[in-house]
Chain A
Amino acid sequence: MGLLQAKSDALAARLAGRTLGQGGWLVAVQAAALDRLRPMGLPGKRDEYWRYTDPTSLTAVEPPKADLFDTKGEARPFSAIDRLKLVFVDGVFDSVQSDPLALDGVEITPLADAAGTEGHWAAGLYGMLEACGQSPVERPLAALNTALATQGMMIRVTGRPSKPISMIYLCTSDTSDAILHHCVKLAPGAELTLLENGPAAARLNKVLEVDVGEGARLHHVRTQGRDHQRRAATHIFGSIAAGALFKSFTLTANGRLTRNEAVLELLGDDAVAHVAGATVGDGEFHHDDTVFITHAGQRCESRQVFKKVLKNGAVGVFQGKILVKPGAQKTDGYQISQSLLLDEDSQFLAKPELEIYADDVKCSHGSTSGAIDETALYYLRSRGVPLKAAQSLLVLAFLAEAIDEIEDEAIADDIRDRLEGWLQRHEH
């Protein structure tokens, strides 16, 4: 009882003084989220699902202070890519810095505006996938997000827009505490590339709900802010219909604490879901990828590809699960989580899981952690490649399988450039 009490006390403290409800349909939806959150309370470090990552700073009433990162005038990610820019400053949408919310084949509405519109389509998605994702494992931070969010974008895609939508999260305050909740719904056959970059806040709680309709395709690529002390708990809840595709890639370089959860369900037959991550951490760095993919349809394909490069005591965590439901025959599930430990102080904790209730499936998983291959290093050096360049080449090679999950070459090149820059700045 003591534990449970602590968790609900933490929640009560977090909710104290908050006014809930935005008006319109959102009032009832947020009240429902609060109702499912109350019996859970906030996560504690004794929770099995938080065994490798201490949630204390994510659940605390105030976020720990996070010094702002000086990018020294370096171009932001995706700068060279033609895109529709939506800018958030400290977690608040800034329409002045953003492009007009107009793009053929897409309807973009800020959460507050959508909430004030009776019969808005988002009323049927906001919080729905998050609620489904609470079982079989509770995700209280996501329910908290649904209950409290006042900011976010409701994006409905009915065609194939000519350029990506790009969310840019600026952080200008070292004590900012942002809650963002986005919903993306793709009509059958629609297609979208969604980009995200930036820290958003000293502490960020973000939920992205994606409903990918039949035969639709959603490509998602994000880079999380490089601020060394920032903290983030993010969730992606995805529902992928028959013949649809969802691919998500995340680059994480720096950050004191990051927990990225992806909860995806392949609902229809022949659906595809790929979720990948490339992570580089140096020093006080804790990164947790927690993935739960459910195969409900037949002949669906899922891939989880997570690569982490860790040094100077950095910690990487992977909890990945593939659940194959009864009847989900011909499932093709693949899961790989690997870490490259550049010294003996860093550590990688992995918990791969498979749970299969169909008899005609192909599921594979692998998890490794190791050091740089000394023989390959010698081979490169014997050809004249200097030690540090050779190490960088091998680190990038290690990350390649995750980056290869990005289909757009220009975006993939941007990610590679960022990683090369990071490696140069963090040479041994």
Chain B
Amino acid sequence: MLEIKNLHVKLAEEDKVILRGLNLTIGAGEVHAIMGPNGSGKSTLSYVLSGRDGYEVTEGSAKLLGQELLDMEPEARAAAGLFLAFQYPVEIPGVGNMTFLRTALNSQRKARGEEEVSAGDFLKLVREKAKALKIDAEMLKRPVNVGFSGGEKKRNEILQMAMLEPKMCILDETDSGLDVDAMKLVSDGVNALRDAGRSFLVITHYQRLLDHIKPDVVHIMAAGRIVKTGGPELALEVEHNGYADLLAEVQ
């Protein structure tokens, strides 16, 4: 599904190197988690993959189903099946949540040469998906993320994911700012989307989220590369012992 090879990234406007030769392969239907201390480059990885400005790839490649992501515009990456659930979802005053969802869905379908979804079918679909995430009609009518609580914003991200049905989902600290109940709701939403043709990369600081979204593989990231890979037990080890021992052991 996703194959990242020797990825080197620096900030475009300063000489700060963030990713230093990152390698990561995620197979179809797999759930991978990336954990790591602050500043290890986790969020940068998600931004670079989704095509945010401000980063310069100096070396390496990132392929989604064999297609080079790094050569594509952000919208083309989305149409190819990549989705990033933002750590800080963006507020867009003046753009209704429904308009936003429908424009996004139909833009992607158009880019893939598929037929656009009619207004009626869209409404049916969005209501059904919103209900499962306990998103009410009022939230759908409001401008995108404006005045949403932290939990509502994260649920709205998962709603977008459910509507767009991407192949490769990256969840960037989706658990941050969530209470226990909201985390369960969001996790259930994610788990409902798990299937053999869809892969997940879950970026998190805490093992807690991984109790709900059970990963197949856990990676530890430090200083811009993956330093250790293991099964779910690796997350537990981090939770109990912190990163210091792990990193010392690697070095």
Contact = CB atoms under 8 A, between A and B. Distances in A.
B126 interface: no
B94 A384 contact: no
B104 interface: yes
Contact of B107 (A376, A385, A394): A385
A5 interface: no
A381 B90 contact: no
Interface stretch (A82-90, A270-278, A397-405): A397-405
> 9 nearest interchain CB pairs?
A397-B94, A384-B78, A384-B108, A383-B104, A381-B74, A379-B90, A400-B94, A397-B95, A381-B75
A358 interface: no
B111 A381 contact: no
B51 interface: yes
Contacts of B78: 381-384
From DSSP, what is the main secondary structure of chain A's interface residues? helix
Interface string A384-396: 1111011001101
B207 interface: no
A400 B144 CA distance: 14
Interface residues of B, number: 30
B131 interface: no
B245 interface: no
A53 B108 CA distance: 45
15 contacts: A376-B90, A379-B86, A381-B75, A383-B78, A383-B108, A384-B75, A384-B78, A384-B107, A385-B107, A386-B107, A393-B100, A394-B92, A394-B95, A400-B94, A401-B94
Given A385-B104, A393-B95, A393-B99, 9 more contacts: A378-B53, A379-B92, A382-B51, A382-B75, A382-B84, A383-B164, A384-B79, A384-B104, A386-B107
A389 B103 contact: yes
B199 interface: no
Interface in B23-77: 50-53, 73-75, 77
B116 to A, nearest CB: 12
B200 to A, nearest CB: 17
B147 to A, nearest CB: 15
Contact of B103 (A374, A375, A393): A393
Q: Please indicate which of the listed interface residues A382, A397, A401 has the most CB atoms of chain B within 10 Å of its own CB.
A: A382
Contact of B92 (A376, A382, A389): A376
Nearest to A398: B94
Nearest to B88: A375
Interface of B: 50-53, 73-75, 77-79, 84, 86, 89-95, 99-100, 103-105, 107-108, 111, 143, 160, 164
B52 A385 contact: no
A425 B103 CA distance: 19
Contact of B52 (A378, A384, A387, A396): A378
A384 B164 contact: yes
Contacts of A373: 92
A398 B78 CA distance: 25
Nearest to B95: A397
A380 interface: yes
A381 B75 CA distance: 5
B130 to A, nearest CB: 16
Contacts of B84: 382
A336 B103 CA distance: 29
Nearest to B80: A384
A396 B94 contact: yes
Contacts of B50: 382
Contacts of A399: 94
A390 B107 CA distance: 10
A403 to B, nearest CB: 10
